[in-house]
Structure 1
Amino acid sequence: MHRELVYKFSFFNSREQIRGSSRNLIRTPFYVTEQFRSEVAAKKGRLFRRAKVGKQASKCALVSYDTLYIGSRQIKDA
């Protein structure tokens, strides 16, 4: 039986402690992921596609929450 649990943390440090401990779940059927609003998730999908193009151009590309950075520049629109 599969049961998904969703937790909301009051403090950032608590959330990061759990996310950091998730590496202990390697080789188990359990995992930890972040859940984003649907608008943010859709924007992240578009940003990851653009980041892939940036990486192919031999540039460093990073997606942080809902912002794309290529090289050291922040890309405004998605």
Structure 2
Amino acid sequence: MKVYLTRTKAVTVADYPAASKAVRAFIEKGDLGAGCGSSLEAFTGGNIVDGKGKMIAHVSYNGRVWPGTEWKPGLKPLFG
């Protein structure tokens, strides 16, 4: 599977914990904000795709991994 760190840059990861770690490291290294009124550049990545390129989950700014393409009330994280 791969996790996108930006809209176009992805890295291969073994599992959801590795995806979370990669995203949080990218955010911290780049000093990226959540995009909610922050003066920092907004984080735009976090999508996790399978080997066929289908989006299966996403990593939120806080490092939690959620099923599907977007967070919805009542969802339980897959990791974090």
**TM-score surpassing 0.5?**
no
Q: TM-score range by the shorter chain?
A: 0.3 to 0.5
- Structure with bigger helix share is 1
Q: TM-score, normalised by structure 2?
A: 0.33
Greater radius of gyration (CA): 1
Q: TM-score, normalised by structure 1?
A: 0.34
Q: Comparing both chains, which one has the higher relative contact order based on Cα–Cα distances under 8 Å and sequence gaps of 6 or more? A: 2
- Structure with bigger strand share is 2
